[in-house]
Amino acid sequence: MEITAPTSHLSLPFFDAAHRELGARLAAWAPRQKVDESEDRRACRQWVRLLGDHGWLRYCVPAAFGGALEKLDSRALVILRETLAFHSPLADFAFAMQGLGSGAITLAGTPEQQAGYLGAVARGEKIAAFALSEPEAGSDVGAMAMTATFETATGGADTVVLNGSKTWISNGGIADYYCVFAKTEAALGTRGITAFIVDAATAGLDSSEHIAVMAPHPLATLQFNNCRIPASAQLGSLNGGFKLAMQTLDIFRASVAGAALGMARRALHEAVAYARQRKMFGQLLSDFQLTQAKLGEMAALLDAAALLTYRAAWLRDCVGTATAAQAQTYSAQAAMAKMAATENAQRVIDMALQMHGGLGVKVGTKVESLYRDIRSLRIYEGATEVQQIIIGKFCLKGQP
């Protein structure tokens, strides 16, 4: 039986008619796609191809470069991720990484860089990746050790030489290019980082070290060994890389919340369906007040997170981030959304699993895979603790 993602939340005033149409169209399309997900890298490539062929990746880039909408629309990103994650967390991953891996080019790329990469990302012809984290620099981005050194050749073009390593890189090993952040001024911490676009085939870049994780998806450690790229591959301003990384993450953090909502909605759907048919002690599981109370708690946790998520996305789309105060408010609200949605989703999924009893831990059941799928969302793109710090700093500025 085909399971379709719910769309009733799209009637909330945060959304307009185009969002409702998008959500309904995707909810009808997603359950009909059949991808063998037993091998994560092959499956991810297949999802990128499918999402590209059917136009969904066009929401990852602006219209000037083949995108569906004039600019990146946070509410569309949230709806897309929520709906895809309801059906397949790997499909959501494939979609999200095309956006995260091209976001810095959308925000700060030269016209040549935008023309060279964004259309191909939107068609699913180039797989994108965002390379920020290092073995000793995860949450503490300013501690990164990877270096980028400019060399001026006599009579030739300037070259940048990259040395160091990146880790936990989603799409590592299958990406066609990486947006890489490296130190251009070692002593300047967050103020000494610059971004570069590095094509995967560049000599001196090794992406072969695959990292196996509990919910398999393409993930690798990258080694840069005297990796030489043209100076024209610099992305954004010199030493402006930290802010560019944060601005990129700001857009996609609200969409991580969307993905968490999709997984939580699926868990609630599974719990309700199971409670309605499972018999015990002479009645249905759904007849027990204990079950009803749990379902009530799950639904409220989900809706609380959904409202924060849609508010953050609406704020970015409709109020904007043009002034410093608007940008800070948006950062804090996106952080609240990511924190609440991923933490609440973990609880909702855990409750759904508990309701399934032994079946909940049987490999291959939907709640079992959701339990593994949700865990990394509380860590990647800024762990819950990082979101708490962002929100806390905002409160201390007197803007709760």
* Tokens at 148, concatenated: 């980028």
Closer CB to ligand COS, 68 or 313, in the complex:
313
Choice between 7 and 194, CB closer to ligand COS: 194
Residue 384 CB, shortest distance to ligand COS, in Å, is 11
Residue of 82, 270, 381, 385 marked active site: 381
Q: How does strand 128-131 pair with strand 177-183?
A: parallel
Q: How far apart are CB 142 and ligand COS at their closest, in Å?
A: 4
| Cα–Cα–Cα angle for 20, 251, 177, rounded to 5 degrees | 110
Residues lying near ligand COS in the complex (CB under 6 A) are found at 132-133, 139, 141-142, 190-191, 242-243, 246-247, 249-250, 331, 380-382, 386, 389-390
Shortest Cβ 201–ligand COS spacing (Å): 23
Considering beta carbons, is residue 26 or 141 the nearer one to ligand COS?
141
State which residue, 234 or 248, has the beta carbon closest to ligand COS. Answer: 248
Query: Tokens at residue 211, please?
Result: 């990292």
Q: Of 251 and 302, which has the nearer Cβ to ligand COS?
A: 251
Closest approach of Cβ 140 to ligand COS, in Å?
A: 6
Residue 209 bears catalytic tag: no
Q: How far is the CB of 203 from ligand COS (least distance, A)?
A: 26
